[in-house]
Amino acid sequence: MDFGFSGADEAFRTEARVWLSEHAEAGQDRRVWERTLGKAGWIGLGWGEAGYGNRKATLTQQVVWAEEYARSGAPPRSGHIGEKLLGPTLLAHGTPDQKSRFLPPIAAGDELWCQGYSEPGAGSDLAGVRTAAVRDGAGYRITGQKIWTSLAHEADWCFVLARTEPGSRRHHGLTFLLVPMDQPGRIEVRPIRQLTGTSDFNEVFFDGARARVEHVVGGEGGGWKVAMSLLGFERGVSTLAQQIGFAEELGRVVRAAVETGAVADPVVRERLVRQWAELRAMRWNALQTLGSSGDAGASSVAKLLWGGWHQRLGELAMQVRGAAAGVGPVDWSPAAPYELDPLQQLFLFSRADTIYGGSDQVQRTIIAERVLGLPREPKGVF
């Protein structure tokens, strides 16, 4: 695939860069920022062809926007789960009514989403879902627990993978449901405090939560196909934007190595060069596979590459700092939350990179079974 930029693409890049520089102050409030993006037409790029999104944009222009957004230092998105995961999934599997109901509010930045996949006993093993949804008149009653649910404390809606066929096992009998989060007494969100001191992840408890029949995507029992399709969208254009962020973090580590004198160590220099070379290789791999379909192992290879790379970068960040890496930027007291500098946050958060989004073990199993054709790993039953 050719990703050379045309004149139109360069004009698109200039427009994106200017707009981001002029509206950075709106990022102080995450909901305000989402609506600011939506009003200017920057959410749902490419959906315009289907009549549900904002401005029309080629795949190359979507890459341009993602990279300029990352380079600008704009705030983290609250709406990316709805835009990057649910949106493409509804375009592929949703009914016309579902698309008309849910895509415009996502594109406007008015409704935020979270993902109800992982469970305490079914994290990377998604087919082990136990959350149950029972048909009750014009809808479903949902009972169960989800965990590691990103931004659930901010979300208006959650797409939930639940078991609708009693006694079914593994990927059979699962249904993909769109569930409103504003159900007091039926949905409880509990933040999970991480090593970094932040709480972006949550536990979500469903106690008779309601979902309407018309909010089933892919039909009852068709949840596994929809869920797998969504996971494919999880690693697309956003991967290239992620790598821009990685490059900025690598630059920070290099500067720290120079400041501390660690760069004089040939072992450190070799590790820095290796990190740079591997990041370039990841970029070319992402460009080569972007927009392709039918490659069962592409997303798993990408996850293995960036998860391990980022974790090693965090370890290198601590190495170049030496003993100072163990000291926070401000005095700590038991009465106040501890603070971390950016390199300490990088190290601690990256410990999870090889687990969330599908652990390394699961990714290797996918490659072994679906690409190499090796015998399937025995699965337990519940």
Helical packing angle, 237-260 and 342-349, nearest 10°: 130
**Which candidate, 329, 321, 346, 326, places its Cα nearest to that of 261?**
321
Catalytic site residue 234? yes
Angle at 247 between CA 235 and CA 67, to 5 degrees: 55
Residue from 250, 253, 254, 232 nearest 242 by CA: 250
Q: Rounded to an integer, what is the distance from CA 255 to the centroid of its chain?
A: 28
**H-type helices in the chain, by residue range?**
7-22, 30-39, 59-72, 80, 87-93, 96-108, 223-233, 237-260, 266-289, 298-321, 342-349, 360-366
Angle at 311 between CA 309 and CA 317, to 5 degrees: 100
From 83, 119, 234, 278, the catalytic residue: 234
Reduced to 3 states (helix: H, G, I; strand: E, B; else coil), residue 224 is: helix
Q: Give dist(CA 43, CA 52) in Å, integer.
A: 11
Specify the DSSP class assigned to residue 76: P
DSSP bridge partners of 145: 205
CA distances for 152 relative to 58, 93, 129, 290, 352, angstroms? 31, 24, 19, 29, 19
User: What residues are labeled active site?
Assistant: 234
